[in-house]
Chain A
């Protein structure tokens, strides 16, 4: 996923990501924060707590697009949806890296896989109601999974394409039944899922917000600004993407699983849109808002570190910046050129542009640190090569890069680097343009509005040669950085939803990726080794140049207490105190 537009293993779906932009939540690697662990309400109950009540005031530069939880792929909206909706399973609402793992939510337990990983049977908890008072039944669960395909959810193919019957649904969403794939038994309150092949990440995918359970009568179309009822502690009372959002308590909510959906502290949550990131910082510093969703601009880091230290929270996440090189367009159809770029880029400079070592670390491979399959090594740095990698990155090897460009015979070609038009990326782009020029290319930089750049660079019709983008994990798995970004199935020529931006498809690598996914079902260690092998193979072919792994820097108001962050959802808005 990129920016505000989450994207994971997406990708057979052809739907565009949500329109609005911005940084997104992601599972953090190892706990890396200066914060004390937040206080967790006993049993998930906040009733009777002196901290219960008040209004939590959030701000962002713009609304996050549709309020349809099965369509919106924007982390700004997802951070709200997680306290409004529930799925059969969810990522634990526990602090930091404890939130990487699925737990039972509307289902009363996580089932063990049956039939060699092809079948999962969930039992639906009784006594849960939607915020309109309607009870949650098996029919709602089955209908919600059908609706994923009916509304052409961005993850329909990538996450749920492995269900029996999904193929037909992907071809004809309007008449999707998922026959044989999702079977409900109202009397027994069970839902049975049948897969076409074992999937070690199936529970992760079920925990993803697009699998939320909605009332069965929810229209099979994008509901726009009219958010459907949910089961979480809050309900969306009003939403206008141009102005703001109001959430109030769900009168029908009760705690059924503290780690899945605890009760909320604030009585009301408001979201106000329209302030620039600079203005948001000032507003939060002044106490006009409690939390700013957007990234803190780099020029404000100094004052935050000096005067607002207690209000700043730095959390490591699985977020990376990388250069995607189109392997089907010159000059990047030449392996030597792609390797030359990897040798030439100054990753330390990229780290500087993002805010220095406190905000980012140099990244030498596609899988970020902290994920299974990550191995610390650096094949493209001074004094190293793919056969003899260094332990860590030291400096660019420009001489070798120029030698490779000479061998490729591409010197002098015109190259356009496409970057988002935010200050950080433009600064990186300007630097990289200079690098390309020093390598002998006639290079220019094309900044494109952040909201559309990510879809623009995916579409092969735009003939993008090389682009700079960020990517966040949807859940803590290496496949989200390998299969998603370099898998053949995720390359869709002519589509805006082709997250394999490099257009890379290699049978040997694909075989290893598939084997890694399969082996991980039964042998996680062996699976991790295969992910690492796939990553090394990708570094040799170099369809991308990994640059940095960055952290999420969050600013809150002075009055906000119990800052509660999960790896996937940033600040958990239901668990912070505002009184």
Chain B
């Protein structure tokens, strides 16, 4: 038997991190919740067409639903002495008949919730990835090259961070929501999801770039980087082979946290009618739909609100779990 064969097989750092993550019940639960939300959102057309038999984007104020064999109007006249007003049907808890009730256009809230989830999760996920990518470029360049590059990029981040995030996002959205965005040959329509994705990603770059820069500053003076420099390894190779792999854990930890922030920002912009544009839906637009029904049909606003709370909570717990799992010192302590 060789000496090598006698040594126990040492798992790689990613495998260790994954195992550590899977040993955390809270992180596993949050992953399960997120998976469920994504799957449910992906199944939106299936639910709308095969179960609820409704078009969640078409108003249906003159429509009816069948409940217990009885056909009832979606918009129900208020049963009061003055006969004032009509109220959309409330939750029926029947999947085929306005499960969570209808909104003021007579549309199935449950179906819109699922479709809204597709947009909310897509925008927040894509915005998080784009934000992390931009922040990685800024943070790594600033931290690694230092000097004037660092000064310029860091001050730029300072300026951006000095503007309240929501005010910044709202300002950009208001400018682009009416006319869309034209950048040279590229034109983005005002109702394109690319607009909120780009805006949200941009406003959170300083949030993600700072810790990345800090991590790179530490790595820049690490012995293995100094050794590589002394050996004459080109900068690009140091960046790709030594810096980036060691920053990747930071990027991974940041991703769910930025996604949670992006989801909140997207909901806020859509609530203000400057995010996802009608007739498309997002959880933010559905809350806006429910604003006028808060006294009579609170479920229209509560359901998407709960979806946002659950998703953000799950993303934050996942982010904490990833941080713990990818933290070398934590991992060492756990091993010890």
Instruction: Report A's interface with B, CB cutoff 8 A.
Output: 34, 297-306, 309, 312, 314, 346, 348-349, 352-353, 355-359, 423, 427, 430-431, 433-434, 437, 444-447, 553
Query: Does any Cβ of A come within 8 Å of B87's Cβ?
Result: yes
Per the bound structure, the CA–CA distance linking A305 and B85 in Å amounts to 9
Identify the closest chain B residue to A349 (Cβ). B61
- Cβ-defined contact, B58 with A356, below 8 A: no
Residue contact A302 to B85, C-beta cutoff 8 Å? yes
Q: How far is the CB of A463 from chain B (nearest CB, A)?
A: 13
- Cβ A431 vs Cβ B78 within 8 A: no
Contact pattern, B 66-96, Cβ under 8 Å of A = 1, otherwise 0: 0000000001011011111111000000000
Residues of chain B within 8 A (CB-CB) of A553 are: 84
CB-defined A-B contacts under 8 Å, sample of 12: A298-B85, A298-B292, A301-B82, A302-B84, A305-B81, A305-B84, A309-B81, A312-B82, A355-B86, A356-B85, A431-B59, A434-B58
Is the Cβ of A430 less than 8 Å from the Cβ of B59?
A: yes
Is B84 in contact with A446, judged by CB distance below 8 angstroms? no
Contact of A301 among B75, B78, B190, B291 (CB under 8 A): B78
Shortest distance between the CB of B73 and any CB in chain A (Å): 10
* B178 within 8 A of partner (CB): yes
B83 contact set on A, CB distance < 8 A: 305, 356-358
Other than A305-B80, A423-B292, give 17 A-B pairs with Cβ distance below 8 A.
A299-B85, A299-B295, A300-B295, A301-B85, A302-B78, A304-B82, A305-B83, A306-B78, A346-B61, A349-B59, A349-B61, A356-B84, A358-B84, A423-B104, A427-B292, A437-B279, A444-B277
Question: Which residue, of B75, B82, B104, B178, has the highest number of chain A Cβ atoms within 10 A?
Answer: B82
- Check if B307 is an interface residue, CB within 8 A of chain A: no
B residues touching A (Cβ–Cβ < 8 Å)? Answer: 57-59, 61-62, 75, 77-78, 80-87, 104-105, 178, 190-191, 273, 277-279, 291-296
Given A299-B296, A300-B295, A431-B105: A349 and B85 interface contact (C-beta under 8 Å): no
Whole-angstrom CA separation of A431 from B83 in the bound complex: 23
Measured between C-beta atoms, what is the minimum distance from B112 to chain A in Å? 12
Cross-chain contact A304 with B61 (CB below 8 angstroms): no
Q: How far is the CA of A299 from the CA of B279 in the complex (A)?
A: 22
Q: Inside 8 A of B291's CB, which chain A residues have their CB?
A: 423
**Residues in chain A near residue B82, CB distance under 8 A:** 34, 301, 304-305, 309, 312, 314, 358
Known: A299-B292, A446-B178. Is A431-B61 also a contact (CB below 8 A)? yes
Q: Which residue of B lies closest to A303 (CB)?
A: B295
Interface of B is mostly: loop
User: Which residues of A sit under 8 angstroms from B78, Cβ to Cβ?
Assistant: 301-302, 305-306, 356
**Complex contacts, A348 vs chain B, CB 8 Å:** 62
Q: Is the interface of A mostly helix, strand, loop or mixed?
A: helix
CB-based nearest B residue for A306: B80
Residues of B within 8 A of A359 (CB): 84-85
Query: Do B61 and A356 have beta carbons less than 8 Å apart?
Result: no
CA of A430 to CA of B86 in the docked complex: distance in angstroms? Answer: 17
A302 nearest in chain B by CB position: B78
- Please name the residue on chain B nearest to A312 by beta carbon: B82
Chain B residues within an 8 Å CB radius of A423: 104, 291-292
Residues of A within 8 A of B191 (CB): 444
A339 to B: closest C-beta gap in Å: 22
Which chain B residue has the least Cβ–Cβ distance from A301? B85
Q: How far is the CA of A446 from the CA of B273 in the complex (A)?
A: 10
Measured CB to CB, the closest approach of chain B to A436, in angstroms, equals: 11
Q: How far is the CA of A356 from the CA of B82 in the complex (A)?
A: 11
Q: Which residues of A contact B278 (CB under 8 A)?
A: 430, 433, 444-445
Do A427 and B105 form a contact, CB below 8 Å, given A299-B296, A302-B296?
yes
Q: Is the CB of A352 within 8 A of B61?
A: yes
Nearest CB of A to B314, in Å: 31
A433 to B277, CA, bound (A): 12
Complex Cα–Cα for A576 and B291 (A):
34
Measured between beta carbons, the chain B residues less than 8 angstroms from A303 are 295
A residues in contact with B80, CB < 8 Å: 301-302, 304-306, 309
A355 and B85 form a contact (CB under 8 A): yes
| Contact for A356 among B57, B81, B86, CB less than 8 A | B86
| CB atoms of A430 and B105 under 8 A apart | yes
Measured between alpha carbons, how far is A355 from B61 in the docked complex, in Å? 12
| Residues of the A chain whose Cβ atoms lie less than 8 Å from the Cβ of B81 | 305-306, 309
- Do the beta carbons of B62 and A349 come within 8 Å of each other? yes
Contact partners of A300 in chain B: CB under 8 A: 295
> Which residue from chain A places its CB closest to the CB of B73 in the assembled complex?
A352
Chain A residues near B279: list those with CB within 8 A: 430, 433-434, 437
Bound together, the chains give a CA A299 to CA B277 distance in angstroms of 24
